[in-house]
Amino acid sequence: MSQSRGSRADLEAGGSRSGDLDDESSSSPFDIARTKDASVERLKRWRQAALVLNASRRFRYTLDLKKEEEKQQTLRKIRAHAQAIRAAYLFKEAGDQQVIGVVVPKPSSTGDFPIGQEELVPVTRDHNFAALQQYGGASPPHNLFCDLNWYINTIAYFCSVVSLHQVTGLGDLLKTNLDKGIHGDDVDLLKRKNAFGSNTYPRKKARSFWRFLWEAWQDLTLIILMVAAVASLALGIKTEGIKEGWYDGGSIAFAVLLVIVVTAVSDYRQSLQFQNLNEEKRNIHLEVIRGGRRVEVSIYDLVVGDVVPLNIGDQVPADGILITGYSLAIDESSMTGESKIVRKDSKDPFLMSGCKVADGNGTMLVTSVGINTEWGMLMASISEDTGEETPLQVRLNGVATFIGIVGLTVAFLVLIVLLVRYFTGHTKDTTGKPQFTAGKTKFGDALDGAIKIVTIAVTIVVVAVPEGLPLAVTLTLAYSMRKMMADKALVRRLSACETMGSATTICSDKTGTLTLNQMAVVEAFTGGRKIVLSGDKPDLSPMLSSLLIEGIALNTNGSVYMPETGGDIEVSGSPTEKAILQLGIKLGMNFDAIRSESSLLHVFPFNSEKKRGGAAVKLPNSEVHIHWKGAAEIVLACCTKYLDPNDNLVAMDDEKSKIFRKSIEDMAARSLRCVAIAYRPHELEDVPTDGQLSEWALPDDDLVLLAIVGIKDPCRPGVGDAVRLCQKAGVKVRMVTGDNVQTAKAIAMECGILAPDSDATEPTLIEGKVFRELSDKQREDYAEKISVMGRSSPNDKLLLVQALRRRGHVVAVTGDGTNDAPALHEADIGLAMGIQGTEVAKESSDIIILDDNFASVVKVVRWGRSVYANIQKFIQFQLTVNVAALIINVVAAISSGDVPLNAVQLLWVNLIMDTLGALALATEPPTDHLMDRTPVGRREPLITNIMWRNLLVQAFYQVTVLLVFNFRGISILKLHGPNATTVKNTLIFNTFVLCQIFNEFNARKPDEFNIFQGITKNLLFMGIVGATLVLQIIIVEFLGKFTKTKPLTWDLWLISAVIAFISWPLAVVGKLIPVPETPLFKYFTRMIPWRRNNSEASQ
């Protein structure tokens, strides 16, 4: 058993920390199965090991390690600088004060507002209590003693007197109603942007096309070719005159320029795609309160004066002041660099842009935006490097390095052979005379001959070293990322796109992912009886109805907007909150009236660990009620009484408790989410004073149960088909939910995760607390069998991910909450929800599912597999060209001292093979056939046995036919005259190119017989093939002086076309040849003892 698991881990690159550590010690620098957490030393190793001709192009889309280090240094400097400025400002302020009191600059009018940006910025930037106090409307103390304790006393005074409600004065200066926000019409927004700026910061300009052109020039081989072209041009003009002498050098120069321009255009288009995708990543959407209603806006549309609700997991979108907050804690590590959670209240109400809400909730008043915030200054000071390497990209650099070394060896061999043959007089011209005769041949002619030989050798290097192979990954990823946006998936990390193709299991949330997230309360169990809720007002007793309305209105972070002019009521908040608020509206709740009449004393925000939330409220009659709501069985366990239909308090004995538990089970079995609502009275004198209020642990014992409500959240249409598709593709879907186990079971059966006849007991169906109490070994064993985990906490999800990865699985996990961040980061692919997901969850994720739909997750799997498949298609195509071109030129060079494919022709072949081939094959859309396969192991060979078979069949065919033409072509084709050799070489060149065009079709379907299936869906492929064919005709028929070709007769064209066409039926025959399941490289590993020993040692 342990052996098989070790094998699985090796194939799939699983294992949590142990797997990653093994990866670090891997013998091959190109074997990085997980770049997500790879060390800098590991990344440096493969860069140093790679054979690279053009570093600026090859490493363009990888992480720039030097820039990353500079960025970290800049961040440290800016953070230290910001803190130093703040400290200096406060001490300067302390020194400048007089005994008569605190002097703060009065707000100066700037057009439409009584206060200007220069007064607002220092308030939050410098945490200036004095300014906030003056703008807020309270008067500072007089007659303070001017001694060493003055500064401390002043700050202590302000900390004690600034209350959250004293932001009103600042709100008045900004013409903001702290409850209803700004008006938010176009005129108002324009005035605010003109006065205080917009919430954007200047970004460094993207690379221009000319920069890409310059980088394409950096290729060492192209530079050598250009030098050779210039030398050939000079010698040609000198010996043959300008009219005829410029063709050799000019044609090579033109071919090199064409390669450079096409490469630059392709790279520039890719960069524009990445630029657009990066803009999407940065464009956060958030809720603001405008005109009394909550509206969703882009972070770029935020203005000074906006009132922004903050909830756990949100990003603080701008600098501002806290208006109201409950247990609000902010993670300021992005600004300070310290992993410290800071509590925000009246003593510290300053909020900095870019920080995250770690706990609690509140509302803030925006005081500075864009470049006027520290975050804006920081982001404007650093250049974002969005590059990162992907495992496939690193492996392809290894493949390119190996092929490049072989190519260099071959090119060097050809160079030596051709030079020796040339200078020994064995190289003949078209008339059969030696091209070089010692003592007779002019120096210029000899030099020209040597330059031509060097040019051929260097061109072989250009063809042999597949510089574009690793970049093909970037090309297909850029294409896939753009298309995935249409499929509602935003890729944040390039590596996730390809890793998703190797996923063996998906741990999915239930709510909103497998279900529609369109919740409605359809049933309630209250007073010991079941009530079915329809459109009518429920028939409840007065006291029960009043307490329910009170609890629903006050214990919520949602809101209800009732238009003054009439119209539909708008309810906002999470789907669960909205469903419960809709119930309150049915009961006759006046949301604004209840909240204005009562005062919130303290709030315990809903917590995914405790699965409940509470609020302490003071009513108009000075009574204090503590309201709770949350997971039904958890809240029920805290209840000692319940209200009966006659408003009598009844003790909750065991018999009654069983009845309520039975009602929960009945609802859950019908896939209803069960939420209990309860309350308890509290003595006013027992409420802590203001100083201790924020630390008050709300009593959650001795509760009175008011109701258990059943919330219906239907399954998404098509989710069953998506689950079945995953199962067919060898990807196990597991549901991990915080809901009741019975609710989870019912939904799982509806979705097809659990079969109707499956054994729905442990460990198939398990509760979170049971799983977390197991040992590590037991968790691994259980994890394999788990299909549904109910009542799970975020930590349970993390434990499940770790256990699955240790078992060798490639794990994708969905998450939406802040506490899901560790699991999202630990998983091989973290999938955050775009609608319900918090900013913290999104930043920890690799891909954002924009519509929260499980079907979109399955589409990501298809795209991930498509990336891998497209790269394999391109490798097969490119290696066929490489092998054929190298063998033909090497054999011809050694045997005859000449090559049938000259420098210009090889550069054209390189263009077809490299840039155009990548564009054609790397942009193939995914097909259903991809989901018929099992997941691709991340350590499985890139070149499979099927690819080797296809490659060798085509290469052997091309080499055989073209070498026959090379040695016997003149007699076979019955060619005569002085141009016979040129015509023969033209036919070889033409046939070779046409073979590649036809073979491009074969590469589309390496393991399928119908190579034309779905071809009309890839217009780019058709366009590139058509353009290549047209250009080939032009080259052969009209550009002979440049390419050393002669126009072919129609019968020779027909011969070329027939030979190329045979590659199609040959491919069909080749696919009938069986291949062994064991990868080819393993046979070689067995034959090389030291390699096997290394492999065993690494395991």
Catalytic residues: 509
Say how far apart CA 514 and CA 522 lie, in whole Å.
Answer: 20
CA distance readout (Å), 179 to 75, 165, 364, 538, 569: 37, 11, 11, 31, 18
Say how far apart CA 402 and CA 1017 lie, in whole Å.
Answer: 35
Provide CB contacts within 8 A for 238, sequence distance 6+: 245, 444
**β-bridge mates for residue 615, sequence order:** 603, 627
Say how far apart CA 314 and CA 312 lie, in whole Å.
Answer: 6
Say how far apart CA 664 and CA 711 lie, in whole Å.
Answer: 11
Give Cα 30 distance to the centre of its chain: 23
**β-bridge mates for residue 362, sequence order:** 310, 325
Hey, what's the torsion of the CAs at 152, 158, 159, 165, to 10 degrees? Answer: -170
Nearest to 674 by CA among 727, 630, 627, 732: 630
Neighbours of 485 (CB within 10 A): 15
Helices (H) and strands (E) in the chain, counts: 43, 26
Q: Could you write out the three-class secondary structure of 84-146?
A: HHHHHHHHHHHHHCECCECCCCCCCCECCECCCHHHHHHHHHCCCHHHHHHHHCCCCCCCCCC
Reported residue count of the chain is 1099
**Backbone dihedral angles phi then psi of residue 349, each to the nearest 5 degrees:** -90, 5
Say how far apart CA 500 and CA 489 lie, in whole Å.
Answer: 12
Contact 864, 502 (CB under 8 A): yes
Say how far apart CA 913 and CA 873 lie, in whole Å.
Answer: 12
CA distance readout (Å), 920 to 914, 942, 1070: 10, 19, 23
Contact 76, 83 (CB under 8 A): no
Nearest to 582 by CA among 552, 545, 615: 552
Nearest to 403 by CA among 457, 459, 462: 462
**Backbone dihedral angles phi then psi of residue 522, each to the nearest 5 degrees:** -110, -10
CA distance readout (Å), 14 to 18, 314, 807: 9, 32, 7
Cis peptide before 763 (omega within 30 of 0): yes
Say how far apart CA 388 and CA 37 lie, in whole Å.
Answer: 11
The single-letter DSSP state of residue 981 is H
Say how far apart CA 538 and CA 168 lie, in whole Å.
Answer: 41
Contact 541, 587 (CB under 8 A): no
Say how far apart CA 122 and CA 292 lie, in whole Å.
Answer: 29
The single-letter DSSP state of residue 684 is G
Residue the block writes with tokens 């799970």? 792
Q: Render 786-819 in DSSP notation, one character per residue.
A: -SEEES--HHHHHHHHHHHHHTT--EEEEE-SGG
Say how far apart CA 962 and CA 936 lie, in whole Å.
Answer: 37
Q: Render 816-867 in DSSP notation, one character per residue.
A: -SGGGHHHHHHSSEEEEETTT--HHHHHH-SEEETT--HHHHHHHHHHHHHH
